[in-house]
Chain A
């Protein structure tokens, strides 16, 4: 495999890799929540296309789910699978940090 090919593989991971399950806690269409929805969808499409599932929970409609998951603020993103669970707070604007937190950088994928 060429160097470029290896780099490409590292960047995008294997086509049939693990499936990622996210739960995103938002507050209606408040600005940070809306940004978090858009950012998460973009990150998933760019990095784990076809291998992700997003379950969005609106805390204004379902506060119990937030309690059960110990969510204190919105937006909060929880990576349910693969384990271990990870929570990321905020509007997910900082793609690099989000990728690092979700273990989606380098060979870890």
Chain B
């Protein structure tokens, strides 16, 4: 009688054992690995929990830093507007006063005053622009929707890239910090479109859908690589992701050469909208 097992039988058993081992490891049902000389305790669940907790701490810190930065920006913007703005206005008025006092014979002085006055006007414009960049007053005055509309218009004006904005949230009243976060995400996304996308068209949408607010920024440019999306040095993208996550939202970015780039942020409505504007 032939009792010999088929040659593949042992291999089959080994394969089965290996599969079982992999399954046990994958499902975290292993708590020690027995080596020749050492026994290594595997506290996967504990390690995972520690990792999750550290990640949450980092996220909380990032959120705090973002909000601290916004506050700091607001203070600097106010100081710039109040101190420099007023100072420059007084200077401008002073120059006009001197100009009026000059006689027609003091031509070189008149020229100098005119030149100083032009510099002052230019400085006033710069201060206004920097203050507005730091803390867009229009966001406080007009609200998120109108600010985004104006941002799209300005973007088109500066870059020549056709930019449209669509929304169904015109009557919604946004939470102040959420509005700042959404505005900053749009600003960063548009900066990326201008710098990297080689696009001729961009579209921003802000839509309320069921219990979520969905923001998308898309373009018809050259798309974006996975390396760039997940790269540690893509600070703009990391910033946008952190802002979305701080609002308990999700952030996705994708694209291809034929379809351009599409950024989507989904945020629970309860975190963003506080009511309806009258």
Judging by beta carbons under 8 Å apart, are A63 and B34 in contact?
yes
Q: How far is the CB of A89 from chain B (nearest CB, A)?
A: 4
**Is there a chain A Cβ closer than 8 Å to B79's Cβ?**
no
Judging by beta carbons under 8 Å apart, are B30 and A73 in contact?
yes
Judging by beta carbons under 8 Å apart, are A33 and B31 in contact?
yes
Among listed B17-25, B89-97, B131-139, B244-252, interface-contacting one: B17-25
Judging by beta carbons under 8 Å apart, are A27 and B31 in contact?
yes
Judging by beta carbons under 8 Å apart, are B34 and A59 in contact?
yes
Q: Mark B20-45, 1 if CB is under 8 A from A, else 0.
A: 11011101111111101001010101
- Of A31, A59, A89, A91, which contacts B21 at CB under 8 A? A89
Give Cα A59 to B32, complex, Å: 9
A74 / chain B contacts, CB cutoff of 8 Å: 30-32, 34
A89 / chain B contacts, CB cutoff of 8 Å: 20-21, 23-24, 29-30
**Is there a chain B Cβ closer than 8 Å to A60's Cβ?**
yes
Size of the chain A interface, CB-CB below 8 angstroms: 22
Q: How far is the CB of A66 from chain B (nearest CB, A)?
A: 5
B31 / chain A contacts, CB cutoff of 8 Å: 27, 30-33, 74-75
| Beta-carbon nearest neighbor of A63 in chain B | B39
Judging by beta carbons under 8 Å apart, are B32 and A30 in contact?
yes
Give A1-59 interface residues, CB cut-off 8 Å to B.
25, 27, 30-33, 59
Given A72-B33, A73-B34, A74-B34: A30 and B41 interface contact (C-beta under 8 Å): yes
| Beta-carbon nearest neighbor of B29 in chain A | A90
Q: How far is the CB of B169 from chain A (nearest CB, A)?
A: 47
**Is there a chain B Cβ closer than 8 Å to A71's Cβ?**
yes
Give Cα A1 to B96, complex, Å: 117
Known: A32-B29, A59-B39; 14 extra A-B contacts, CB below 8 A, are A27-B39, A31-B31, A32-B30, A33-B31, A60-B32, A63-B39, A72-B33, A72-B34, A73-B25, A73-B30, A75-B31, A87-B20, A89-B23, A93-B29
* Interchain Cβ contacts under 8 Å between A and B, 20 examples: A25-B34, A27-B31, A30-B31, A32-B29, A32-B30, A33-B31, A72-B33, A73-B25, A73-B30, A73-B34, A74-B30, A74-B31, A74-B32, A87-B20, A89-B20, A89-B24, A89-B29, A90-B29, A90-B30, A91-B29
Q: Considering the complex of A and B, which 6 residue pairs feature the smallest CB-CB distances, nearest first? A: A90-B29, A27-B32, A30-B31, A89-B24, A32-B31, A90-B24
